[in-house]
Structure 1
Amino acid sequence: MDLVRGRYTRPDAVGEVTHFQALATAVSGTVGLGNIAGVAIAVTLGGPGAAFWMVLAGFLGMSTKMAECMVGVKYRKVHADGTVSGGPMYYLRGGLAEIGRPRLGKVLAASWAFCILFAAVGTTTFQANQATQQLVGVAGDGGFGTMLAENRWAIGIGMALLTAAVIYGGIKSIARATSILVPFMAITYVLGCLTVIVVNLENLPSAIGQIITGAFNPEGVTGGVIGALIVGFQRATFSNAAGLGDAAVAHSAVRTDRPPTEGFVASLEPFVDTIIICSMTAITIVVTGVWQRPDAEDVGGVTLTSDAFATVLPWFPYVLALAVFLFAYSTILAYSYYGSKGSGYLFGDSKTAENVFKAVVLLFTVIGAAAALGPVVLFADSIFFLLSISNVLGLYFLARIIRRDFIGYWTKLRAGEFERTDRPAVQRREV
């Protein structure tokens, strides 16, 4: 937490954004519709016990996220103009070359960079589609609702314009936007969930009991595997994305000369995304009992969560609609950056290639809002699986370097070699 607050940041460190801004940008890509829809689907498929296994997966994912973001900073490329390019394509190429596997590193790096292009486009189209769907849904039938339903493309154009206003400013512009959006949208959603839970407080002990006991019966374990692994991996960008490596692209831009520091910061992502926000969704769905609807598997995850919100007040789904829109918008911002960096890498760190890809993202934002996306989503799911293969294989080979660097940093920190930058000047001279 002190690292996030900048209390160990050296003023002369190389980078473009603060620890908090890097964290906010990466969280904006992980805190998405999966926290709303994905959790509801997992609970519907496997019962309340699935939530327990999702939280456990998030806890273990903190280590993976820590490792990939540390090497993201360690092997990043700082350009002459001070901008930074980093992520799996750079640490797979540079790190594996360092341990004597340059050919494998180049193959894995190119594969990851190629796949992130499609992953970013698929994510953009899906997020735009689901945000539009939620807005149309809460608007209702007739009048304004009918107008929105018949002109979904207009919502897409609006989202595209909002996206363009941010992404062409690079990581600094994206980080400024997400550092405001992420806290606001997370707090808004969590407060909404807490309100539902408080209104249904008499059901809370029973709900917690169902989650814990359901985790250790055959149905709960099966549901947990389905929810945490199948849904979690397929919807990884909508969960904590640990193991995919995409967040390392954002974290690589941080201002630091000590790569392990960003690893510690990045470990907070799965904690916030899964342990806090996904848990809030799960408890909200279980405590209201909406997961037991006969048609629960057919209505969709967002609808279930919306129904849970509606148990408080008829207009409360509007709070959820705001959260869905912000989650979708912030995820589009993050993935436009990830995809542009992948495009830049494939074309020799070309800024032109990055800008062209951003234009493609804007186009698919409009397409996503207006079209049905079943096949696109299935294709994107497969691409994310390929991302994880390239990234996790690389992390396996780099494990010795990762372990060495983290232990070295932790030893120096415990020995007092790193002073906090918020200390008074006199005390700092004494140290």
Structure 2
Amino acid sequence: MASDGSWTDRIDAAVNDVFEPVRDLLTAVVFCEIEVAGSPFPLIVGWLVLAGLVFTVGFGFIQVRRFGTAVKLASGRYEQPGAPGEVTHFQALTSALSGTAGLGNIAGVAIAVSVGGPGATLWMIVCGLLGMATKFVECTLGVRYREIDARGRVSGGPMHYLPKGLAERGLPRLGRVLAWPAAAMLLFFAFFGGNLFQVNQSLEQLATATGDHTAFFTESAGALLFGVVVAVLAALVLLGGMRAIGRVTSRLVPAMTVLYVAACLAVLVANATRVPDALATIVQEAFRPEGVAGGFAGALIAGFQRAAFSNEAGVGSAPIVHSAVKTRRPATEGLVALLEPFADTVVLCTMTALTIVVAGAPSYTAAREAAAGGEGGDTTAGISLTSDAFATALPWFPAVLTVAVFLFAFSTIITWGYYGLKAWTYLFGGTRASQALYKALFCGMVVAGALLSLGTLVDLADVFLFLAAVFNITGLYLLAPVVRDELRAVRGFLARRDAGLPDDVSPDAGPAGDTGDGPLPPRDDDPGPPAGPLPVAR
């Protein structure tokens, strides 16, 4: 936020004063904590982790058994020419990744490691692996119950599969009750978490990186220019729709990931002799942490919380973009989607954590000592910890980190712009005027993000995002048998394609129509498969 604008300070103060009581109340409810071995454990994190565990066991550790298949699907091996949809499997994956891979991978991980110790890294990996199963379930449902209009534009997500899927299972009222608030909460986060916060923090990093040369970006004029430029870029991509987002993210996400991972590897290579000890420390301190408030529970909670907040598995956001994939077999995209938590949490978050631990920069040591004394960290401190770690091997890297932060932030903005649009059209209609109003408001919020912090609204957006997980995961449990049927259909499809046989799909099949190898989607008057316990896929 610009430091010379008293009017922006007044707006911030006024908005924060109005919404602070609401934020405090909802935060106390959504992030309600219980004591676990002397450490506070947010119940919402437990809710997300439990879902991952249930779906992992229920679908027979699908993230392990079908990982290779998921990679083949993402690479285009099983593409289905003529299938309805807007983007390829790879474009859908990178678009979803652009919404989750962001500042949390850079700053949040540093905080988790400094607070929970190196052992938090192992628990991040465990939580990320569990989240892969949740992503499989929700994204399969996203494609199964998506809607495609006359122009080929796709709408999907929890606001579609909750009412449709639960209606098939004889629970239409519950489906409507769960869908509307899920859409409203995702929309709120799109404005303030996936938009305003990203612009604000990327500008903060830019101002810090250029502070020794110019104070331009700390002033209102510089902040406004930055906001306008980002808003114009975002508008150009959003106006092109999902196809444009897919084209941009399919290039942007791999580029920024390679850039960031390459920098991590440079630090690890420069400190190669310390890597074995760092890995051993991570494993040992996951169970016997030293100097960590809360001991074992503190390390586990820090790791789980960071991973759950990073990959958003179970929140219901990713199915919106995965629904746009070109396929007639919903579970193919479910399998591709399980790669998302792996890339976001198991790879990016772990690389960040390992880099920080191996580098052992003074700021990291000081942060750990502060954490052991009961003090916490903030996002700005997290970015500085990561930057300092890279600087131990790459003194010039803080400038590159600024570029990485901007790329992560921009990709998050355009993806959440799409998420918000789909939530908006579900709530307020999809007319051209309605969509134009949303895009104008969203881009206006980009500019506002460069001038204002609106910290209370950003905190409230986080609350709403994870409250959406309560509604979404409730529906996922009830709709798990539908996912089982779709997985069975895909196994037959993959077996035929591997044998070189034709797809055997009717040309008239719909977006999730007759797969030729499994049951048809239930008709409007069909109650769907009988309810029962969550199956184990064989």
TM-score strictly above 0.5? yes
Matched, 1:105 2:175: yes
Which residue in 2 is equivalent to 1:192?
Answer: 263
Q: What is the CA-CA distance between 1:65 and the residue it aligns to?
A: 0.4
Q: Which amino acid aligns with 1:147?
A: F
Which residue in 1 is equivalent to 2:296?
Answer: 221
Which residue in 2 is equivalent to 1:115?
Answer: 185
Given that 1:40 and 1:305 are in contact with CA atoms closer than 8 Å, whether structure 2 keeps it comes out as yes
Cα 1:313–1:348 change in 2 (3 A) is closer
Q: Structure 2 matches for 1:73-84, cutoff 5 A?
A: 73-84=143-154
Cα distance in 1, alignment partners of residues 436 and 136 from structure 2: 29
Q: Computing the radius of gyration over CA atoms, which structure comes out larger, 1 or 2?
A: 2
Q: What is the CA-CA distance between 1:185 and the residue it aligns to?
A: 0.4
Identity across aligned pairs (percent)?
Answer: 49
Matched, 1:338 2:419: yes
Paired residues in the alignment total 416
Q: Structure 2 matches for 1:145-156, cutoff 5 A?
A: 146-150=215-219, 151-156=222-227
What CA deviation, in whole Å up to 9, does each residue of 1:297-356 have, x standing for no partner? 446111110111111232111121111110000000000000000000112333432332
Given that 2:200 and 2:452 are in contact with CA atoms closer than 8 Å, whether structure 1 keeps it comes out as yes
Cα distance in 2, alignment partners of residues 419 and 347 from structure 1: 46
Matched, 1:348 2:454: no
Cα 1:313–1:167 change in 2 (3 A) is same
Given that 1:189 and 1:319 are in contact with CA atoms closer than 8 Å, whether structure 2 keeps it comes out as no
Cα 1:362–1:348 change in 2 (3 A) is closer
1:17 counterpart (87, 90, 93): 87
Given that 2:128 and 2:307 are in contact with CA atoms closer than 8 Å, whether structure 1 keeps it comes out as no
Which residue in 2 is equivalent to 1:293?
Answer: 366
Matched, 1:57 2:127: yes
1:320 counterpart (401, 415, 424): 401
Which residue in 1 is equivalent to 2:451?
Answer: 370
Given that 1:45 and 1:226 are in contact with CA atoms closer than 8 Å, whether structure 2 keeps it comes out as no
2:101 counterpart (31, 43, 50): 31
Given that 1:39 and 1:227 are in contact with CA atoms closer than 8 Å, whether structure 2 keeps it comes out as no
Matched, 1:310 2:391: yes
Structure with greater helix percent: 1
Q: What is the CA-CA distance between 1:389 and the residue it aligns to?
A: 0.8
What CA deviation, in whole Å up to 9, does each residue of 1:384-417 have, x standing for no partner? 1111111101101101111222133224534658
Q: Which amino acid aligns with 2:276?
A: P
Q: Which amino acid aligns with 1:263?
A: G
Cα 1:70–1:420 change in 2 (3 A) is farther
Cα distance in 2, alignment partners of residues 108 and 58 from structure 1: 26
Cα 1:331–1:72 change in 2 (3 A) is same
Q: Which amino acid aligns with 1:158?
A: V
Q: What is the CA-CA distance between 1:418 and the residue it aligns to?
A: 7.3
What CA deviation, in whole Å up to 9, does each residue of 1:238-274 have, x standing for no partner? x111101111111101110011100011011011111
Which residue in 2 is equivalent to 1:424?
Answer: none
Given that 2:307 and 2:345 are in contact with CA atoms closer than 8 Å, whether structure 1 keeps it comes out as no
Q: What is the CA-CA distance between 1:153 and the residue it aligns to?
A: 2.3
Cα distance in 2, alignment partners of residues 21 and 372 from structure 1: 32
Which residue in 2 is equivalent to 1:242?
Answer: 313
What are the ranges of 5 or more consecutive residues in structure 2 without an aligned counterpart?
1-70, 503-538
3-state SS of paired residue (2:396): coil
TM-score norm. by structure 2 comes to 0.74
What CA deviation, in whole Å up to 9, does each residue of 1:72-111 have, x standing for no partner? 0000001011111111100001101110100110111111
2:277 counterpart (187, 193, 206): 206
3-state SS of paired residue (1:253): coil
Cα 1:409–1:35 change in 2 (3 A) is same
Cα distance in 2, alignment partners of residues 404 and 342 from structure 1: 27
Q: Which amino acid aligns with 1:273?
A: D
TM-score norm. by structure 1 comes to 0.92
1:40 counterpart (110, 114, 119): 110
Given that 2:78 and 2:497 are in contact with CA atoms closer than 8 Å, whether structure 1 keeps it comes out as no
Q: Which amino acid aligns with 2:234?
A: T
Given that 2:122 and 2:303 are in contact with CA atoms closer than 8 Å, whether structure 1 keeps it comes out as no
Q: What is the CA-CA distance between 1:372 and the residue it aligns to?
A: 2.5
Cα distance in 1, alignment partners of residues 189 and 420 from structure 2: 8
Q: What is the CA-CA distance between 1:140 and the residue it aligns to?
A: 2.1
Cα distance in 2, alignment partners of residues 7 and 129 from structure 1: 40
Q: What is the CA-CA distance between 1:170 and the residue it aligns to?
A: 0.6
Matched, 1:329 2:404: no
Which residue in 1 is equivalent to 2:165?
Answer: 95
3-state SS of paired residue (1:11): coil
Question: For structure 1, which segment, 411-420 or 180-189, has the greater mean C-alpha deviation from structure 2 after superposition?
Answer: 411-420
Q: Which amino acid aligns with 1:293?
A: A
CA RMSD of aligned residues (A): 1.9
1:162 counterpart (225, 233, 236): 233
